[in-house]
Structure 1
Amino acid sequence: MKTYKLTLLLFLLAAFFFSCQKERSFENDAFPSDGQLQADASLICQGNIVSGVYKADTALNTSHFVDVSVQVNTPGVYSIYTDTVNGYFFRAQGTFSASGVQTVRLAGSGKPLAAGSNVFTVFYDSTNCFFNVIVTGPGGGGSAVFTLNGSPGNCTGADVQGAYVAGTAVTVSNKVTLQVNVTTTGTYTVTTAVVNGVTFSGSGNFTATGPQTVVLAASGTPTAAGSFNVPVTIGTSSCQFPLTVTGAGSAAVYTFNGAPGNCTNAVINGSYYAGTALTAVNTVVLNVNVTTIGTWNITTTTTTGMTFSGSGSFTATGAQTITLTGSGTPVAAGTFNIAVTTGSSTCSFSITCQPADYFPRTANSNWSYEWDDDPDDTTYVTAITPTISALGNTYNIFMSTDDISQGMDSAGYYRRSGGDYFQYINLADYLLFDNDQWVENVFLKDNQASGFSWTTSGYSGTISGTPVTIRIKFTILQKDVSVVVNGTSYANTIVVEEKYEAFNGTAWVDATAAYGTYRSYYSRNIGLIKLEGFDPSGMPAFQLEMRRYQVF
């Protein structure tokens, strides 16, 4: 813990929810994604496809993986992993660049210790689901005997998944599911011939006879557009399934859900403030119905300074989602309808732009700060959904931590009314009074010019048994200026000086000589970006600087 001789330095730190313990730098300057694993009512992972033959005492390799489906609500970095069972596990890390349903491949690692049925739990965000892996004995249990449905003609019930575009490499979403009839259980490995630059392969273990399915993952890059037949052979059984490859510029055919009215169940992400440029977190997710797979490209007309656009490819027909990213700067506060069109299908979604806010309190907004230029001494702060009521007002709750693995602690209560920003504080924490005394004061005003000052009421109590009466004086030193913090320039920043005054029995006197001064920097629609403390001589005592932020 850093130690400062100035007692009132601790008061300010308590007020602004920061502590200064050494800790691991955990946020890596990247935004975490948000979403849910897709699972059925029994929490079995939807879309899970287990690949590879698992044998006791045999290390896993690149052929051992499992695919899971994830509903991504907010793009960003992700870590999806399983527990370790019987000596092995599955894991994937990466970045979701768009919202919607995504397929993630978890690579296997380790070595199964014994034969048997292993149930794995998959973890992502705050969700989990389950899948099962069968491990055979060291000898492998023998090869399965099975036939392909439809042999020797077209593969009956073949389900080709994913979009195949000439010149574009296939992904984990590209696969085919085949129907088979198993007469002898055991392991299997199937690989097709290369057709038009693409091959399909898969391996696994049949644990029961009768009708089963085999999933073959695609690899390669389609070389040309057209319709092709892909032959599959296992033993003396063979069949073929169709593969359609579109040209690089083939456009999809789809309609918007809700057209021609409001876009049904549109999801608006990010915060929108008049006068603040949109960023990558300002997106809208729209529901569509696809009748022909292919590429899509949409740009809305500019409305009140905002435009939404996006492009991509549909990998399947039916219900799908698209994500459009906002750009531009809202020119006014209010609610605005934005029309989006594809072909003859049009629907509208609404964007509500808030007035400028220099201390956002929206749920899940979060900030990371660095102490005294030490990258390993950081504090993470977030606003949570619950609120508290006190003094006839409702306050947003902030939480903070110096080590995310140790959980969060309460970090302050805040509200706004017009251009005034209020904090609800306990003077026992804020001023180290001997007894609890909860009060409210204004710590920021965004509707006053540079040079404007205001004071709190006088607070009377005792500190270590000594009676005191103290008040806080705030002064706007600068209004809507640009400030550089950690190499980033933040426009529209208000700089507020905080000083203390003591009542000597007849008048209020400046207490800077005893307690020093403090400066807080608030950037429009971002929040606190910098905090400085100065000793009584005016020399810097500490500084706190923002590293990253995410405002919703």
Structure 2
Amino acid sequence: MSVENNMGGAKAEGTLLDSMGNCQSAIVRGSYVMDSTMTDSNYAIINVNFTGTGKYVISTDTVNGVWFIDSGYVQVAGATSIKLKAYGTPILPIASNYLVQFNGQFCSISTSTIAELDYLPTNAGSTWTYQYLPSLIGNAGPLDSFKITTLAQYIPYNSKNYYQYATSLADTFYFAKDAAGTYYEFGTVDFDYTSIFDDIGGFIEYPYLKDKSPVGTTWESGEMDVLFGSFIGATVKPGVAKTVFTIAGVNQTMNIAGKTLSNVITVKREIYFKETGGIGFTKVLVGTASYAKGIGMVDQNIVLSATDSQSVTATNWKIN
């Protein structure tokens, strides 16, 4: 933390390097979006070992319209972390490398600027915490909440890059997006983070969101082999399931986790099941999922009956 005051004019001494002479690790936070001015959420945390007290300025060069800087006064020598605030406005949607300068030494940090925020953050280490309302009942007792973390490695499939989202419940979800504003899941045709099938024959790929489509736009997933029944208190039967998606709302405003979110899109999901040997599909569940730009899914509600529902709502998130 920087401390600004008028304590003399001495210059702080120190190093950006570790004992082996290598640049110490740094963390860059915030979303970097073309033509969007930097805010307090855009910053870098760097490690510095101060060997002498005094004033300091740690800054970077300007790359793609953005730079980082912090100044202050070191009162006690030693190792500490310094927060460099980002300033400026990214010009192009490119990756950028910045030289961090202090006391004649240089280390580097990097950012990746996107053309615009979308509805599927993919930066490694991004996290979301969701709450089940009401709590789910499992073998270990009530399950109130869970956490999701974006993994660094993505999986190329069908001309898309599927990013991995690992949950604290020891499973992984796979999501992708394309340049046309369509978002895909490689998984089961039900609701995210809530399993409704007793068993499945394997994952399939399907679009779950189209961010440039107007209200009323509808599409279907493919069909997948499932066993279904327990979730609705019925006899478990084999068959096939599919989902019908409909854009229910665009440019919405929602209050989630004490924050007012704009540019929210809500998609209705209708789950259909056809028993093996049956004639046609029967609608078995209906729900909605809402997605906020720059965050992803923030709320999901499954209608269980005229009086009961199961929701999955975001309570916290940190997008790298």
Answer yes or no: same fold by TM over 0.5: yes
Q: Equivalent residue for 1:522?
A: 291
Residues 131-178 of structure 1: CA deviation (Å, up to 9, x unaligned): xxxxxxxxxxxxxxxxxxxxxxxxxxxxxxxxxx9x99xxxxxxxxxx
Q: Residue 455 in 1 paired to residue 223 in 2? A: no
CA contact (8 A) 2:254 2:260 kept: yes
Shift of 1:498: 1.0
SS of 2:124 mapped into structure 1: coil
Residue 412 of structure 1: which of 167, 173, 189 is its match? 173
- Code of the residue aligned with 1:312 in structure 2: it is G
Q: Deviations over 1:57-113 (max 9, x none)?
A: xxxxxxxxxxxxxxxxxxxxxxxxxxxxxxxxxxxxxxxx58xxxxxxxxxxxxxxx
CA distance 1:385–1:351, shift in 2 (3 Å)? closer
Which residue does 1:364 correspond to in 2? Answer: 125
Structure 2 segments unaligned to the other structure (5+ residues): 18-22, 136-142, 229-234
User: How far, CA to CA, are the matches of 1:542 and 1:465 in structure 2?
Assistant: 21
What is the SS of the residue equivalent to 1:372?
A: strand
In the alignment, the residues of structure 2 paired with residue 326 and residue 371 of structure 1 have an alpha-carbon distance, to the nearest angstrom, of: 36
After the TM superposition, which residues 301-340 of structure 1 pair with which residues of structure 2 at under 5 Å, given as runs? 306=66, 308-314=68-74, 322-326=82-86, 330=90, 332-336=92-96
2:31 to 272, 276, 298: 272
Aligned-residue RMSD, C-alpha: 4.7
Match of 2:302 among 528, 533, 536: 533
Q: CA deviation at 1:449?
A: 3.4
Q: 1:316 to 1:383 in 2, by over 3 A?
A: same
For residues 359 and 252 of structure 1, the distance between their equivalents in structure 2, rounded to whole angstroms, comes to 45
Residues 398-436 of structure 1: CA deviation (Å, up to 9, x unaligned): 3323xxxxxx51142223333232222257995626552
Q: Percent identity?
A: 22
Instruction: Output the CA distance in 2 between the equivalents of 1:462 and 1:373.
Output: 25
Shift of 1:496: 1.5
Distance of 2:309 and 2:236 partners within structure 1? 28
Of 383-392 and 540-549, the range deviating more from structure 2: 383-392
Contact 1:337 1:348 in 2 (8 A): yes
2:145 corresponds to 1:378 = yes
Q: Which residue of 2 aligns with 1:395?
A: 162
- Which TM-score applies when normalising by structure 1? 0.43
Task: Please report how far the alpha carbon of residue 353 of structure 1 lies from its aligned counterpart in structure 2 after TM superposition.
Answer: 0.9
Conservation of the 8 A alpha-carbon contact between 2:128 and 2:148: yes
SS of equivalent residue, structure 2 residue 171:
strand
The residue number in structure 2 matching 1:489 is: 260
Call closer, same or farther: CA 1:421–1:251 in 2, change over 3 Å: farther
Whole-Å separation in 1 of the counterparts to 2:107 and 2:156? 40
Q: 1:501 to 1:385 in 2, by over 3 A?
A: same
SS of alignment partner, residue 542 of structure 1: strand
Return the offset for 1:548.
1.1
**Aligned counterpart, 2:11:** 252
Higher relative contact order (CA 8 A, sep 6+): 2
- Alpha-carbon separation, structure 2, partners of 1:288 and 1:333: 30
Distance 1:377 1:469 in 2: 30
- Cα distance in 1 for residues equivalent to 2:49 and 2:195: 56
Q: Deviations over 1:422-464 (max 9, x none)?
A: 2222579956265522212222223433332221123355546
Partner of 1:354: 114
Q: Counterpart of 2:31 in 1: which secondary structure? A: coil
| 2: CA distance, partners of 1:465 / 1:307 | 59
Tell me the alpha carbon deviations over residues 24-52 of structure 1, each in whole angstroms, 9 at most, x when there is no partner.
xxxxxxxxxxxxxxxxxxxxxxxxxxxxx
Tell me the distance in 2 between the aligned counterparts of 1:437 and 1:474: 21
Contact 1:336/1:350 (<8 A) preserved: yes
How far residue 541 of structure 1 moved from its aligned partner, in angstroms, is 0.8
Task: Work out which of the residue numbers 409, 423, 442 in structure 1 matches 2:185.
Answer: 423
Pair 1:273–1:492, CA change in 2 (3 A): farther
Q: Distance in 1 between matches of 2:215 and 2:39?
A: 29
Write the letter of the residue equivalent to 2:173.
G
2:207 matched residue in structure 1? 442
| CA shift in 2, pair 1:484/1:305, >3 Å | farther
